[in-house]
Structure 1
Amino acid sequence: MGESSDPALRERIERDWGLDRPLIVQYGLHLGRLSHGDLGYSYVRGEPVADILFGEQLVTSAQLAGFALLIAVVLAPLLAVFTAGRRDVFSRATATLEVIVASAPPFWTGLVLIWVFAFTLKVLPVTAGNEFQRLILPAVTLALPIAAVLAQVMREGIERALEQPFALTARSRGISATRLRVRHGLRHSLIPAATLAGWAVSGLLTGTVVIEEVFGRAGIGRETIAAVTHSDVPVVLGVALLTAAIYLTVTVLVDLAYLWIDPRLQEPIA
């Protein structure tokens, strides 16, 4: 608030947040508010934090993150299947491009895609067009680094599976190389890929902050930047809690998915 802030406003905020009470009491009050879904009040925006985060902004960010996740989970297996076990020019070029995309800052990737597809080729709009057209470029920008890392992990898993004795048996029965990768190798690569699901989700959540700013989209990301810029601590804390809750939920779902991917994990330990 600064030293020149209104003393009455400072006193009101301290009273509302319980800052004039012992630290353990403050913590208990905070947990009590959270149990009722009360994330606090934004004194900058003049409205509850829950109304800021769980309104249209969350829907917009969820659409972006969901579409980006869809692109990543489709693109990564395709790259892994068609390049695993191969040493041709296409596979090497793909692996090199994956490293570049995974290492590049998301805002740089977004600017490159805008320059190529919006300004040069003029096939995808940034601000014009309908909502789906405006969603493509930011979603691709958000998905590419995740797909690149997942493809590398899945490719390694497929290649390890192709070295196992069952792969030799399958080849002896006349199964094609592509079918072997899809039917047997791909399933063995899902566990290490699923392990990265938590990272992928966190990448989507944190990536929306940058991508929404680059593409001028409304959403949780832009609200977070505005909150940090104006020192709107309640909103920043609300975003942190929302991110932690989503990350925890995804981690639990991934643990459950392990049982479907590898039924052997369901067997009791003797």
Structure 2
Amino acid sequence: MTLGPGTEVEAALESAASTRRSGRGAVRWLSTRLAGLLFVLWAAATLTFFAIRLIPGDPAQAILGGPGSQASAAALAQARAEYGLDQPLILQYLGQLGRYVTGDFGTSYSLHESVVQAIGQQLGGTLVLAVASLAVAWVLALAVAVFSVRAGRAAWAVGNGLEIVSAAVPHFWLATVLILLFSSTLGWLPAINVPGPVGLVLPVVTLAVPLAGFLGQVMRESLLNALHSPFVLSARARGESEVGVLVRHALRHAALPAISLSGWAFGSLVSGAVVVETIFARPGIGRTLLRAVQERDVPLVSGIVLVVALAYCLVTVASEVLDRVADPRLAESPR
């Protein structure tokens, strides 16, 4: 059947209008996410600035080496004047925001080097730890979810119990148990950081197990719903095998809630890295942040918090993009 000229013109106009709507939707989505990113960074900078000043102690002493430095009153006054600590608090706050806008994060009080340089030296280790832990958590969560759904009621109860227990396990307790078992008793793995993949095993497992408990709970319910959905029943009616149904259809839909939680999961891993890096003596921004807070190193604490907030926002946006790729219906949503 041949379409008339009028029909072809109408189809072209409709296609162009659809493209314009899609473009406007993408611009609106990006603008909303950018505004949210700027708000999160401003909130993180503001809360960190005022919270760090609630810690007892004098920042000028931290600049001069801490309370044990026995700095004179004149040296303390000079440090306050040099770093603007003698100004009203609101002026210090506005000045810090202004420096952030220009990309100036200041100099670390304790390390006596650029905050950007200090964070850059430690960021790689934490990112490797977080990404590896997230990947292991996904594998564990998927394995328990598939086992629970496919192996009957007993497996469902076992999987549910494993997820609840693992989600409730504190990082410091799990790290202690793993060190006692695999380092002190069996001697298989090192208790502290060593170069190479072997040094990552215990820290990664410590971070991955609790996260796998949370991810597994949402994956298991979503997988069960997917296996009873009409599209799965249609695939079975077409003669597709159970493995094909699981791999090609059910797992993709089961992963959607976990993908949406990936931004939160990344934030959870970074917060857990503070404990894990300290216990296993690993270099990273978690361990650096803990030391900076103890030493009232305001520029370094603020810089690390901003970097973590930025990474959290970027991972959240990436998870939304993956959501839209995995479920095309979301791409048509006006949100």
**After TM superposition, is the score higher than 0.5?**
yes
Once the two structures are overlaid, the 10-residue window that deviates more, 70-79 or 4-13, is: 4-13
For residues 149-228 of structure 1, the aligned pairs below 5 Å read 149-228=214-293
Q: Please state if 1:37 is matched with 2:115.
A: no
Q: Which amino acid aligns with 1:246?
A: A
Q: Which amino acid aligns with 1:53?
A: I
Q: Please state if 1:53 is matched with 2:119.
A: yes
Q: CA deviation at 1:128?
A: 7.6
Q: Please state if 1:100 is matched with 2:149.
A: no
| Contact 1:17–1:26 (CA under 8 A) maintained in structure 2 | no
Q: CA deviation at 1:127?
A: 3.4
Per the alignment, do residues 8 and 130 of structure 1 end up closer, same or farther by CA in structure 2, a change over 3 Å counting?
A: same
Cα-Cα RMSD: 2.4
Distance 2:105 2:251 in 1: 43
Per the alignment, do residues 23 and 232 of structure 1 end up closer, same or farther by CA in structure 2, a change over 3 Å counting?
A: closer
Q: CA deviation at 1:172?
A: 2.5
Q: Which residue of 2 aligns with 1:267?
A: 332
Distance 1:50 1:13 in 2: 22
Distance 2:120 2:185 in 1: 37
Distance 1:254 1:16 in 2: 44
Once the two structures are overlaid, the 10-residue window that deviates more, 215-224 or 127-136, is: 127-136
| Aligned-partner SS, 2:264 | helix
Q: Which amino acid aligns with 1:64?
A: L
Q: CA deviation at 1:233?
A: 2.2
Q: Which amino acid aligns with 1:126?
A: A
Q: CA deviation at 1:130?
A: 4.3
Once the two structures are overlaid, the 10-residue window that deviates more, 94-103 or 167-176, is: 167-176
User: Across the two proteins, how many residue pairs are aligned to each other?
Assistant: 268
Q: CA deviation at 1:85?
A: 5.2
Q: CA deviation at 1:110?
A: 1.0
| Contact 2:166–2:212 (CA under 8 A) maintained in structure 1 | no
Per the alignment, do residues 12 and 81 of structure 1 end up closer, same or farther by CA in structure 2, a change over 3 Å counting?
A: farther
Q: CA deviation at 1:20?
A: 4.3
Distance 1:41 1:141 in 2: 33
Q: CA deviation at 1:248?
A: 1.1
Q: Which amino acid aligns with 1:197?
A: S
Which of 178, 184, 199 lines up with 1:119 in the alignment?
184
Larger Rg: 2
Q: CA deviation at 1:164?
A: 1.5
Once the two structures are overlaid, the 10-residue window that deviates more, 198-207 or 20-29, is: 20-29
Normalised by the length of structure 1, the TM-score is 0.88
Long gaps (5+) in structure 1: none
Q: Which residue of 1 aligns with 2:143?
A: 78
Task: Show CA shifts across 1:164-194 (max 9, x none).
Answer: 2222222233333333222211111222111
Normalised by the length of structure 2, the TM-score is 0.72
Percentage identity across aligned positions? Answer: 41
Per the alignment, do residues 37 and 128 of structure 1 end up closer, same or farther by CA in structure 2, a change over 3 Å counting?
A: closer
Q: Which residue of 2 aligns with 1:237?
A: 302
Task: Show CA shifts across 1:43-97 (max 9, x none).
Answer: 2222222222111x22222221122122123222222223225434344223212
Distance 1:63 1:214 in 2: 17
Q: Which residue of 2 aligns with 1:69?
A: 134
Distance 2:179 2:171 in 1: 12
